[in-house]
Structure 1
Amino acid sequence: MARMLGFFLLIAISANAQDTLTLKDCENLFQKNNLQLLSEQYNIASSKAAVIQAKIWEQPYISGELNFFNPNRKQLFDIGNKGQKAFAIQQLIYMGGKKKAEIEFAQSNVAIAELQYEELLRNLSYQLKTSFYEIYFGQLKIKQLERQIGQVDELIKEYSVQADKGNVALKEVVRLESLALSLRNDINDIQKSVFAYQENLQILTNTSEPILAVGNENELNRELQVPGIFTLLQLQQKAIEKNPNYLKAVKLKEQNEINVRWQKALAKPDLTVGGAYDQNGGAFSNQLTLTLGMSLPFKNKNRGNIKMAESMLTQSSVDIDQSKTSLSAQLATAYNNLKYQQNQLSKSLESTKNFDAVYAGVIQNFQKRNISLIEFTDFIESYNQSILYINEIKKQIILSKQTINYITNENIF
C-alpha cells in the first residue's frame, strides 16, 4: 500500500512539471528541434559535396629538366642559349565514359541521401504521432478510472460510518476498499505505459519536460467515423509511388546499373596527352613534340569488380520485389485492422449507449441498498473493462490510420 501511495504521489508531483501540448505543437517542436533530422541533413550536404569532387578532372602534370653540369664547357647549370633545358606537360584524359559514370554515381548518392532523410523523417514522425495518441488515450483511461475511484471512495466513507454504527458488516467496507485498490492498480499499469511514451516524445521533440497530450475529443470522435476513400489496391499503388523505402530500393538498383557501367569503363585504358620542349637534347635544337600514352589492355584487370557490381545489380532487383511484397502485406494488415476496429467500435457503441445511465442508476441503487455489494462490484468491474475496451478500439483505429499514412507516405486520413 505504501508503494502504491508513493507511486501516485510521484504522479501528482510530475504533473506539475509537464508541458500541455497538442499534436500540432509536438510536430512543430519535432521539425525544429529533432537532433537526428539535423544530423541527417549533413549527410545530404556531404553527398552533394561528393558530386562537386567527382566533376573535377586530374590536374595537368608538368615536369622540367635543367642541365646541372656541362662537361664540354666545364660549366654548372648551363641553361643558356647554348646549354640544355627541357620541359614537358601531360594531361590524363578519361576514356570509356569513366568520368560521366563517376558523376552519375555521385549524383545517385545525393538522391539516396535525400530518400534516407525522407525515410527518417517519416519514421520519426510516425513514432511521434503514435506516442502522442498512446499518451492521449492513456490519459483518457486514467481520467475515467479516477472518476470511478472518486465515487467508490465516497461510498467507502459512507460505509465506514455505517460500519462504525454496526449497520453494515466491516467486510463490505473492505470489499469496497479492495475494489478501489484494483482500480488504482489499473491506473498504475496505464501510467507506466504513459511515462514510457512521454519519454519517447521528449526525445523526439528535444524538450526537457514530459508532455501531456491534449486534443478535441468531439473532433476526434467524428474523425473515428470517417470512412476510407481508397480501396486497398489503390493504397498499395500509392505506396509504390511514394514510399521512400521502396523508392530507395529502386534508386539503389539504378545506382547499381551505373556502377556496372562505371566498372566496365574502368577496365578501359585512359589516354595521356602532352607536349614537350627540348632545347638541345633532341633530334634538333628547340624541339617541340606531342606525347601520347596509354596502358596496353592485355588483361581486364577490373573483371572482379565488374562481377561484383553485376551481382549487386541482380540482388537489388530481388530487393525491389521484396520491398513491394512487404509494402502490400503491411498495408493489407493495417487496412484490414482498421475495418475490423471500426466495425467493433460501431457494435460496442450501440451495445453501450446506455452505459452511463445504467452506471448512475447502479450507484444510486447500491447507496439505497437495492442491490448487493457483489452485484455492485461485478457491475463496476464489467463497466470498467467495457469503457477501457472502447477506448482501446478508438486508439487502434487512430493508430491504424496513422500506419496507413506512414506506409503510403501521404495524409490519407
Structure 2
Amino acid sequence: MSFLIKYCQLTNRWLTAGIPLVLLLLSVSSGVQGQPKAPEAPTTPPTSDTLRISLPDLEQQVLARNYQLLAQRYQIDIAGASVIQSGLRPNPNLWFQGPLYNPQTKRVLPFGSPTQADMQSGQFNSGAYAIQLQQVILLAGKRSKLVALAESNRTLAQIAFRDVLRTLRFQLYSTYANLYFDMQALSLLQAELARQQRLVESYRIAQQTGGVAPYEVTRLDVANRDLQANIANYLAQIADSQATLRVLLRQPANTFLMPTDLPVGTPALPAVATAIDSALTNRPDLALSQEQITNASRSLALEKARRTPDLTTGLYFEKYSNAYNNFTGFQVAMDLPVRNRNQGAIRAAELTAKSVQAGVENQQTIVQSDVLNAYDKLNAYYNQVNTRPAGYLDRIQNISVEATKAYNARVIGLLDYLDKIRTYQQARLNHINLLNNIFQSQQQLDYVTNTKFF
C-alpha cells in the first residue's frame, strides 16, 4: 500500500513538472523562431503576378496613364479651341437671285441675253438676276469680350486640372501608405498566429496526458480565431487599396501591386502662418474661385455689350432692275433695341458675380480651417511619438516570447498570458498605426496647402 502511494506521488510530480518542461522546450523554441522582427510584407500575395513598385515610380505612371488626368487635359484643349473660335469674325453672306421659270416664254432658267425687241419694249424675259453681299459688324467690342471670356474659361480649365492633379496625388500617396502599413500589420499578425498555433499544438499533445486542462486549449483556440478575424480585416483593407491603385494606374486586375519602402520621418513643422499663406497662394480650388470672379465680370461685360445691336452692311447689284439697268446699291441694317435690351441676361450676370464673390470669401475661410485642422492633427502625432520613453520599442519587442516562456513554466496563468500577448500585439499595431498616421497627416498638410513641406 505504501509503495502505491509513493508511485502516485512520483507520477503527480512528473505530471506537474515534467510535462510543462517538455512544453517549455517545444513552444519556447518555436516561439523564438517565430519571434516577429521588423514587420515585412507577406511573401505570397493573393494574385499570381506581383509588381514591386516604389511610390515615386508609381506616381510617374499615374501621371502618364490616369484616365481622369487625360480627360482634364482634353478640357484644356477644348477651352483653347474656344479661344480661337471666339476671335474669328463673322463670315460674309452672299445672296443670289435669278429667274427659275418664265411663264411668258415658257423657258426654265432664262439667263440668256434679252432680245432687241424686249429691250425696246422694256420687258426683260431673260437675263435678269440680283446679287447681294452682306457683312455683320459686331459693335460695342463684343468680339474682344468674347475672346476675354473664352480665355478666362481656359484658365478655369487649367486650374481645374491642377486641382485634379493635387487630389489624385493625395489619393495615391494615402492609398500607397495604407497598403504599405496594412501589409506590415498583416505580416505581424501572421507571425503571431503561426507562433500561437505552434503553442496550441504542443498543448494539445500535453492535454492527452492530462498535463494541461482542456479549457486552456480552447481559450488559446479562441485567441487564434481573434487573430484570424483581424487578419481577414487587414486582407479586406489591402484588397480595397489594390482596387484603388489599379484604377489610378489602369493596371490589369490580376496584378498585385507590392509597395517597396516608405520611410517616415518627423522633420520640423512649418510655422502656422507660413502654412496658411502657402495655402492661400497655392490652393487651386481657391484660385478657381478667384478666377470665377474674373469670369463673372467678363461675362457681365459681354452681356452689357449685347444691349447694342450688331450692324449689318451690304452691297446689292441687280441686272435689269425696276429702277434702271445694272442697279448697284448699298445696305445698312440694325435691330432697334426697343423692347429687348438684354435685361434678363444682364441681371443674371450681375447676380452671378455677387454669388461668386461670396463664394471666394467662404472658400478662404475653408482653406484656413483645413490648414489649422491638418496642422493640429500632425502636431498631435508628433507629440505622441516624441513623448515615448527611450527604448520603448526595444522593451515591447520581447513581451510575446517572454510571456510564452513564463506561461509554459507555470509562472503566470492563462489570463495573465493572454493579457501580455494582447498588450504586445496592440503595442506593435499601435506603432504601425502611428507611423501611418504621421505619414498621412504630413500628406494632408501638403494637400491642404498644395506645398511640398514633407
TM-score when normalising by structure 1: 0.88
How far residue 18 of structure 1 moved from its aligned partner, in angstroms, is 3.6
Aligned ranges 1:71-110 → 2 under 5 Å: 76-77=110-111, 84-110=128-154
Work out the CA distance in 2 between the residues paired with 1:71 and 1:185. Answer: 98
Q: 1:275 to 1:183 in 2, by over 3 A?
A: same
How far apart are residue 168 of structure 1 and its match? 2.2
Q: CA deviation at 1:88?
A: 2.6
Contact kept, 8 Å, 2:54 with 2:261, in 1: the verdict is: no
Deviations 1:125-173 (A, max 9, x none): 2111111111111111111112222222222232222222222222222
Offset of 1:65 from its aligned partner?
A: 4.3
Of the structure 1 ranges 255-264 and 184-193, higher mean CA displacement relative to structure 2 is found in 184-193
Unaligned runs of 5+ in 2: 1-42
Change (3 A) 1:270 1:154: same
1:90 deviates by 1.4
2:49, 2:256 within 8 Å by CA — same for their partners in 1? no
Q: Distance in 2 between matches of 1:19 and 1:168?
A: 47
What corresponds to 1:31 in structure 2? 63
What SS does the aligned partner of 1:110 have?
helix
Is 2:93 the counterpart of 1:52? no
The whole-number CA distance in structure 1 between the counterparts of 2:345 and 2:217 is 81
Uncovered stretches (5+) of structure 1, i.e. residues with no partner = 1-10
Deviates more, 1:32-41 or 1:68-77: 68-77
Query: Among 192, 198, 201, which residue is 2:245 paired with?
Result: 201
1:171 is aligned to 2:211: no
Could you tell me which of 378, 381, 394 is aligned with 2:435?
Answer: 394
CA distance 1:149–1:347, change in 2 (3 Å): farther
Q: Which residue of 2 aligns with 1:138?
A: 182
Q: Which residue of 2 aligns with 1:364?
A: 405
Aligned-partner Cα distance in 2 for 1:393–1:382:
16
Q: Deviations over 1:283-326 (max 9, x none)?
A: 66544433322222223431000000111111010111111111
Deviation at 1:45, TM superposition (A): 2.0
2:261 equivalent in structure 1: 216
CA distance in 1, matches of 2:332, 2:83: 29
**Equivalent residues, number:** 398
Single out whichever of 367-376 and 247-256 deviates more from structure 2.
367-376
Select the structure of larger CA radius of gyration.
2
1:369–1:290: structure 2 CA closer, same or farther, 3 Å change rule? same
Equivalent of 1:41, from 55, 73, 80?
A: 73
CA contact (8 A) 1:23 1:214 kept: yes
Tell me the equivalent position of 2:357.
317
Gap change, CA 1:343 and 1:27, over 3 Å in 2: same
The residue type equivalent to 1:156 in the other structure is V
Identity level (%): 23
Deviations 1:61-80 (A, max 9, x none): 12234467999999954656
* Contact 2:48 2:255 survives alignment (8 Å): no
Structure 2 residue aligned with 1:403: 444
SS in 1 for 2:134: strand
Q: Distance in 2 between matches of 1:205 and 1:28?
A: 10
User: TM-score, normalization: structure 2?
Assistant: 0.80
Quickly say closer, same or farther: Cα 1:349–1:309, change in 2 above 3 A: farther
Secondary structure of the corresponding residue to residue 39 of structure 1? helix
Deviations 1:319-365 (A, max 9, x none): 11111111111111111000001111223464833111444433333
Note the aligned Cα RMSD (angstroms): 2.7
Give the residue type in structure 1 aligned to 2:426.
Answer: Q
**Which of the residues 293, 302, 318 maps onto 2:342?**
302
